[in-house]
Amino acid sequence: MENESEKDTADQNEEVSDTSETPEPLSPPEAPAEKATQGSDIDLEVKDPGRAFAGVTGAELYLEACRLMEVVPVSHFTQNLAKPYINLNHHGLGPKGVKAIAIALVSNATVTHLELEDNGILAEGAIYMAEMLRENCSLQELGNYQVKKLDLSHNEFSEKGGQLLGQMLANNTALEILDLSWNHLKRKGTVALGTGLRGNGALKILNLSWNSIGNEGAQALGEALKVNSTLVHLDISNNQINNEGAKKLCRGLEVNGKLEVLKMANNPLTVEGATALVTSVRKNPNSMMEEINISNVLVNENFIKLLDFVCQIRPELDVIYGEVEGRISKIPKQHPSPMKLIQKYLNEHNLRLWDFFQKIDKDGNMKIPVTAFRRAMIQQSSIPLDRVQIRELVRQLDRNQTGIVDYSHLKEQKPAQNPVEGKMKEEEKEDK
């Protein structure tokens, strides 16, 4: 019977073989015999991009790749190769289809935004995209090609695809937004991504929701956050992360000085995990955290007291939680409408809403970032508003969630028009 040491060695060897496998190059199947005898004028090997694609346009290259891969070309792709944005969501590309796309993009000089949601490209397709983006790293220094946003959600990458994408992240210096939601990355895939994030200096927004990353994945991301200095938005909602995983993630949050938004809704957290998250912000003097979304978590009065205390020193922080244990009365009864309170203050002082906002608008451009607006509203003493009221006020003044409170349209209104009251009534009609 195999002893424990032999079993551990075998497991380690298997792990090494899984993560160290080199992705195959971006080359299509062999051309037909008659083509080979004639000599192809298009070499699709990408080991030497400068030689491989010299004199070949993106459309021609793509059509040739499709022919050799035996897939139907996507006309929308060829028609938009000269534009910065290409949306290929829901085109059923599959692994071979995305390989043809990747081959064509290696030498492309215009596309900056590519979406590939729901194409079933699997782990094999992830290999081709990772290879293309690796070549991108070398070409970018020459100003030849730059992908900034990549949507690869709903593609069933599995753990293997996550490992390969992690290798890509470790080398890529251009990608800023990456959506990998709904890809079954699980533990191994997320651990590899976490490793790639440690050395990545470009990615700003990462969506890993619905990937079953669990506590080990959360731990890997926590380790990455200790050293990563570019990521500002992380979505790990719906990932089976419990209190233990949250605490491991917090080890990174306690030292990270860049992350602003953390979405963790619909994980099996309790007030214990929620408390750990808020405490990590409190412990970190360099924290830039603005939003923590744990909207499904039932909290208690002790958590509310802690949050109130932290918000006094970090007024820009907004924590979205579930119900408060033991509270029966509805929120509207506890928190009077912030618009009504502001309107009352304006009427008493014969002011316009524009005048009120102007006092907290340091730049004077009539547009206030939500974070700065939230901080100013908490720190101002003219109108007593709590966190819940300020959140409602932000929701009403930034209904499209742009991150900016824009009050420029209020400049011409007079005090007699009661702009806030009128705005409030219009919004109540819309909500109905």
Q: What is the pLDDT of residues 207-217, one digit of tens each?
A: 999 999 999 99
pLDDT at 396: 84
> pLDDT class for 152, splitting at 50, 70, 90?
confident
Of the two residues 273 and 168, the one the predictor is more confident about is: 273
User: Residue 416 and residue 351: Cα distance in Å, rounded?
Assistant: 9
Of the two residues 334 and 317, the one the predictor is more confident about is: 317
Of the two residues 222 and 90, the one the predictor is more confident about is: 222
Of the two residues 54 and 156, the one the predictor is more confident about is: 156
pLDDT at 105: 84
Ranked by mean pLDDT, which of 229-238, 321-330, 375-384 comes out on top? 229-238
Place of tokens 């290798």: 167
The token duo for 134 is 């690796």
For the chain, give the mean pLDDT: 79
Of the two residues 117 and 237, the one the predictor is more confident about is: 237
Per mean pLDDT, which range of 27-41, 89-103, 271-285 is the poorest? 27-41
Ranked by mean pLDDT, which of 262-276, 353-367, 377-391 comes out on top? 262-276
Contact 160, 189 (CB under 8 A): yes
pLDDT at 50: 41
Of 345, 347, 339, 353, the C-alpha closest to 411 is 353
Residue 139 pLDDT > 60? no
Q: What is the mean pLDDT of residues 255-282?
A: 97
> pLDDT class for 197, splitting at 50, 70, 90?
very high
pLDDT at 189: 93
Beta bridge partners of 114: 86, 150
Coil, strand or helix at 374 = helix
Residue 270 pLDDT > 80? yes
Residue 13 pLDDT > 50? no
> pLDDT class for 257, splitting at 50, 70, 90?
very high
User: Residue 216 and residue 190: Cα distance in Å, rounded?
Assistant: 8
Contact 157, 180 (CB under 8 A): yes
Q: Which CATH number fits domain 331-431: 3.40.50.970, 3.50.50.60, 1.10.238.10, 3.40.50.1000?
A: 1.10.238.10
Q: What is the mean pLDDT of residues 111-119?
A: 82
Contact 247, 216 (CB under 8 A): no
Share of the chain above pLDDT 90, in %: 36
Coil, strand or helix at 229 = coil
Beta bridge partners of 263: 235, 293
> pLDDT class for 185, splitting at 50, 70, 90?
very high
pLDDT at 305: 94
Q: Please state which architecture CATH assigns to domain 20-321.
A: Alpha-Beta Horseshoe (3.80)
pLDDT at 388: 82
Of the two residues 16 and 89, the one the predictor is more confident about is: 89
pLDDT at 172: 81
Q: What is the mean pLDDT of residues 398-408?
A: 82
**Residue ranges of domains in the chain:** 20-321, 331-431
Q: What is the mean pLDDT of residues 20-36?
A: 43
Per mean pLDDT, which range of 98-102, 244-248, 347-351, 411-415 is the poorest? 411-415
Residue 34 pLDDT > 90? no
Of the two residues 49 and 391, the one the predictor is more confident about is: 391
User: Residue 223 and residue 195: Cα distance in Å, rounded?
Assistant: 8
> pLDDT class for 128, splitting at 50, 70, 90?
confident
Of 85, 82, 62, 64, the C-alpha closest to 74 is 62
pLDDT at 367: 85
Of the two residues 383 and 233, the one the predictor is more confident about is: 233
Of 196, 108, 115, the C-alpha closest to 146 is 108
pLDDT at 19: 38
User: Residue 297 and residue 308: Cα distance in Å, rounded?
Assistant: 17
pLDDT at 359: 80
Share of the chain above pLDDT 70, in %: 76
User: Residue 175 and residue 351: Cα distance in Å, rounded?
Assistant: 47
- Mind giving me the DSSP string for 251-306? HHHTT-SS--EEE-TTSS--HHHHHHHHHHHHH-TT----EEEETT--B-HHHHHH
